[in-house]
Structure 1
């Protein structure tokens, strides 16, 4: 019973006394809503106190408790503890008297109170279980609602995911279809372009073939016209002259100024000039010397080519100037020196250098006679026209002019008659002579010997004062090679030339240059008659073969 009472009211101090506050204190402790509980707790406390103070035999409540005499006796001593104890007893008594009914004379009322407390406890427990049940039901309801929401969200998410997957699959399918269509269109376009390209290539190849055939026909016509002579040979000659004049103008306007205006390039050009110039002056007809100088100049040109087109073209132009200067000065005095110069020039051509183009442009500029052609005056003043013909100064004598032109032509004729198989001996290469021959420009090939002879026997060129002297130079330098190459055709041409000399059809019939022309004609007649008698070698220039 004590344990059940403890569930209702707070535990009180054990011992003889029960301390209790008045009803107001109980109300303050238990609250306004629990006043009944406070009253019950107070009643229980009174019942316990009554049981503790009762004896084995029932006694009347009006009689003082058994310890009262002892309390009164101690009161006389005015003990503070007893005074405080007495006050506590009185307070407990008053509180019990206010909140309880008079104590019964039997134990039955106590049992009723306990039953009431148990009933109250049962009600409290029932209320608690009901509250817990309500809370549980509410929790389960909220939980079920929450899970319903979660499941609904999951279903909606799954639905959205499925919808998005369907849309993605549809988009992917559309993309695949679009890509397939684009691929088919692209393949069709590529096939169309390829077909057009094939058609264009076939058309271009056909046009190129036709152009080649046309050019070949024109070249053949020019060749046959050149072989026949006549007026048909002069338009090609003029075209060649204009072509080389344009090339020389390009070099003068596009190359030389850039070297002059750039100090660094001018310095490198000067170094190349110092490397080239002395070597041309040291040249002899020795095979080893030609090989050495060709190799040295090849190295200089390779270095210049690595520095760019401008420097390379400048170096080629300077080399051509050196060769022509040597021809004007040394070859004019000693004709056999033309052969080693020609071998160096041809060797550099075979090594892949563009010296042939630049050399030909400078040859035509300095001596248009190498083409077997005299450019027209075209309204030029006398001094300007003389410069166009190759005169150095306005007061240069005809004799000095003829000597220089003969030297330059001797260099050109020496290049034309040079054997490629022999020149290969002076260069370092592993390629065959047949392959190397393709690098020689048309203007430096042996076929040009025939072109020059035909033009120089066709009027009005035959009436030029310089032609007899140039014919002598050709016969002495390139005559044997021309006769060997063209055989009966060359012999027929030379017999025709000899007849013209004998009949005084070559050269002008008079004029201030009559003596020089007459001397050249006499010399030419001696050479041609020696050839006719089979003793041309006595009149040809030595040096056609290299010294070992």
Structure 2
């Protein structure tokens, strides 16, 4: 900021305007004579262009003589020059006074500015302090309001938990009522189904007799035709024998490799699924048909089945309760008078079915209910002869290819082509699956039993080795097969099943396989974030809502396992 003082009128007499100089007429005479000389010279110069050389140019006219000044004029000029010199060297006190006034004003202005600046800073500091005090008061009020709100939320949470416990008790009661109703409904369905099968068998027997008569006539005709073809076949026999010999050698080599894999406990996913399908056909066409066709065997089988189903529903997490139920089931399966072999295998089939149906009902509501079911299953797999294969067969029947894991092909293991309905049933779909969510919940409940059996083998190995499908190595094989099958990885069921597997045995597997297991989990994590390798970025579980939510759960579970101490 600049300050200045107003300038007043000078009282000094020396500042009045004075005139200095020579007389005006003398100046005018000198200027006119000089201009005449210059014009004459310029005209002579301009006329020189009309001459051949400079020597021909006539000289300028002589300057006119100037009259000499008088003594008075000479004195006047000298006096004027002296006045000018005096004026140049004159010292003006006013100017000195004016300069001092300006400097004093500048010093006063700077002092006032400094005082004003100090006062302004002081006021600003006081204003900031007042504002800070005001803010602290507001913050204290807000903190008190937040604490009051949290207290109210805690009270509402306690009320909600109490209501949830009451609702859970009511739901549990309804669940058990539903189980009893399902059992009665299933028994009625079986009775109606058996009656229909009896009538169907009678009709088939009549048709069979007619077919045998027709076949006998056709066979007689074919026999004559065979005799005619015999000669031609003998000619082709030698070539066929050579082909069969080469095929026999190839089969023997494949059988030797298969025996080696079996000795080492190595099977392919196709072999595991085909063995379950083959066993299922044998079970349905053998023991089940025989038992249902014989009234005495059927009554024994029905009594055993009705005794087994309630036992499964009585399971709790008490080890004594599990042992007691196991011993009671053993008594039912192996009484003092042994059952007929067909009845024994039929009861094993019903026992496995009862375990999986209980898992579908209870594990969907509470996953801890799968623990006693799995512990009982481990005891049965070790202590009951033949139960391991039948349990595996019923597991693949109820859950499709997910226990293997394996993508269900278009043809069955015997080469027969599936219809759309048959393939859907082979994949584990049931009539009660009204939505994808119901199917996912049911498959997850069944697979939790299977993974708990392998998890029990991971942490508490049994005295006798389990079947290959339930051993410790199968847990690693399951994840390896799943990661190799891109079609399965894109199915929304895959992340649900993998989450169940990691929840059951992920930490124990890390302790057993160490760094290799961590590498496998890292690859699985990439499938949930960046995409399945070789699928152009498609993620685990696809883009459906069910697959997306399950994929997030798999990510969280892997992070939990990797970050655990």
CA distance in 2: counterparts of 1:292 and 1:532, whole angstroms: 39
Match of 1:398 in 2: 436
Residue among 459, 462, 465 paired with 2:489 = 462
CA distance in 1: counterparts of 2:563 and 2:507, whole angstroms: 14
Match of 1:258 in 2: 290
Q: How large is the Cα RMSD of the aligned pairs?
A: 2.9
Q: Does 1:523 align with 2:550?
A: no
The Cα shift of 1:380 comes to 3.7
CA distance in 2: counterparts of 1:352 and 1:270, whole angstroms: 20
CA distance in 2: counterparts of 1:395 and 1:319, whole angstroms: 22
CA distance in 2: counterparts of 1:366 and 1:294, whole angstroms: 23
Structure 2: gaps spanning 5 or more residues: 1-252, 412-416
Q: How does 1:328-339 map to 2 (within 5 A)?
A: 328-339=360-371
Q: Does 1:407 align with 2:445?
A: yes
Distance 1:511 1:259, change over 3 A: same
Match of 1:494 in 2: 521
May I ask how many residue pairs the two structures share in their alignment?
303
The Cα shift of 1:464 comes to 2.0
Residue among 405, 422, 445 paired with 1:372 = 405
Q: Does 1:351 align with 2:383?
A: yes
Residue among 266, 269, 275 paired with 1:237 = 269
Match of 2:564 in 1: 534
Distance 1:494 1:305, change over 3 A: farther
The Cα shift of 1:504 comes to 3.3
CA distance in 2: counterparts of 1:349 and 1:219, whole angstroms: 19
CA distance in 1: counterparts of 2:356 and 2:288, whole angstroms: 18
| Aligned-partner SS, 1:278 | helix
Q: Does 1:273 align with 2:305?
A: yes
Distance 1:212 1:352, change over 3 A: farther
Match of 1:31 in 2: none
TM-score normalised according to structure 1 size: 0.51
Q: Which has the higher contact order (CA 8 A, sep 6+)?
A: 1
Instruction: Kindly indicate whether the alpha-carbon contact (under 8 Å) linking 1:281 and 1:326 is maintained by their aligned counterparts in 2.
Output: yes
CA distance in 2: counterparts of 1:385 and 1:304, whole angstroms: 42
Q: How does 1:113-262 map to 2 (within 5 A)?
A: 214-215=257-258, 217-218=260-261, 236-262=268-294
Residue among 319, 324, 349 paired with 1:292 = 324
* Greater C-alpha radius of gyration: 1
Match of 1:388 in 2: 426
The Cα shift of 1:478 comes to 2.2
Q: Deviations over 1:139-162 (max 9, x none)?
A: xxxxxxxxxxxxxxxxxxxxxxxx
The Cα shift of 1:265 comes to 1.3
Q: Deviations over 1:504-536 (max 9, x none)?
A: 33996599961111000111111111122217x
Distance 1:299 1:490, change over 3 A: same
The Cα shift of 1:387 comes to 1.0
Match of 1:363 in 2: 395
The Cα shift of 1:299 comes to 1.0
CA distance in 2: counterparts of 1:265 and 1:363, whole angstroms: 25
Q: Deviations over 1:487-507 (max 9, x none)?
A: 222121111111221113399
Q: Does 1:450 align with 2:476?
A: yes
Distance 1:356 1:395, change over 3 A: closer
Structure 1: gaps spanning 5 or more residues: 1-209, 224-232, 425-432, 536-548
Distance 1:305 1:412, change over 3 A: farther
Q: Does 1:478 align with 2:505?
A: yes
| Aligned-partner SS, 2:514 | helix
Q: Deviations over 1:258-299 (max 9, x none)?
A: 211222111111221122111101101111111111111111
Distance 1:448 1:351, change over 3 A: same
Distance 1:217 1:394, change over 3 A: same
The Cα shift of 1:466 comes to 1.1
| Aligned-partner SS, 1:373 | coil
Instruction: Kindly indicate whether the alpha-carbon contact (under 8 Å) linking 2:528 and 2:539 is maintained by their aligned counterparts in 1.
Output: no
Instruction: Kindly indicate whether the alpha-carbon contact (under 8 Å) linking 1:328 and 1:404 is maintained by their aligned counterparts in 2.
Output: yes
Q: Deviations over 1:395-425 (max 9, x none)?
A: 731111111111111111111111499586x
Instruction: Kindly indicate whether the alpha-carbon contact (under 8 Å) linking 1:304 and 1:312 is maintained by their aligned counterparts in 2.
Output: no
CA distance in 1: counterparts of 2:390 and 2:458, whole angstroms: 20
Q: Deviations over 1:224-274 (max 9, x none)?
A: xxxxxxxxx9xx211211111010111111111221122211111122112
Match of 2:532 in 1: 505
TM-score normalised according to structure 2 size: 0.50
Instruction: Kindly indicate whether the alpha-carbon contact (under 8 Å) linking 2:540 and 2:551 is maintained by their aligned counterparts in 1.
Output: no
Match of 2:335 in 1: 303
CA distance in 2: counterparts of 1:448 and 1:510, whole angstroms: 22
The Cα shift of 1:381 comes to 3.8
CA distance in 2: counterparts of 1:324 and 1:340, whole angstroms: 13
